[in-house]
Amino acid sequence: MKAKDLIAPIAALLAAAGILLGVSALLGETAQRGEEAARNEIMSYMLPGRPASFTEEAYDGEDESIRRVFKAEDGYVLELETNGYAGPMVLWVGVTNEGRVSGLTVRDHRETFGLGRRAQTEAPFLLQFIGTSGEAAVGEDIDALTGATVTSKAVTRAVNSAVAFVTGADISSSATEWEG
């Protein structure tokens, strides 16, 4: 192997990097607009009355699980990050102004295939949270996913945190304090 053998792979790497940077710069604005539109579309299903627009509000409270807050006329959609079994989980939770959960979706996670991963897709599990108002507890109101109790508790913590934000409930009921 000679030093000149390095020229082809490094040239290919730099060429590919240049093309990708160019494409990212060209499509950056389109991607951002598309992402915002897609986010609004999904969030509109999470509150009653399908609000057409959301306003992002700054959050500087104590609950470290709350990442972003979006307000609509009839309620809020919160983006929360909580610790699952295998890593952080990101959820969106819709809560009405009255403090009732009206929508829930798991947006990102690293949970185990076939076990905790079902938190994203298993409708009967997710539907248990609809209508709850911050008191949800695994083993009482919520049936955990089989083989994924830690994941189920993580989702429950996040949902209770979202409700606590809207109702102004004591922080001890929220994700940062309750270890589940």
* Nearer to other proteins (CB atom), residue 53 or residue 143: 53
CB of 65 closer than 8 Å to CB of 157: yes
* Nearer to other proteins (CB atom), residue 97 or residue 105: 105
Task: Decide: is 13 part of the binding site for other proteins (CB under 8 A).
Answer: yes
DSSP string, 147-163: T-HHHHHHHHHHHHHHH
Task: Decide: is 56 part of the binding site for other proteins (CB under 8 A).
Answer: no
* Nearer to other proteins (CB atom), residue 17 or residue 130: 17
In the window 140-169, what residues touch other proteins (CB under 8 A)?
none
Half-sphere exposure of 33 (CA within 13 A, CB side): 5
In the window 106-135, what residues touch other proteins (CB under 8 A)?
113
Per DSSP, the three-state class of 21 is helix
Dihedral angle computed from the Cα positions of residues 96, 156, 144 and 86, in that order, rounded to the nearest 10 degrees: 130
For the bound state, the minimum distance from the C-beta of residue 110 to other proteins, rounded and expressed in Å, comes to 9
**How far is the C-alpha of 11 from the C-alpha of 135, rounded, in Å?**
59
Applying CB under 8 A, which part among 1-9, 69-77, 98-106, 140-148 lies near other proteins?
A: 1-9
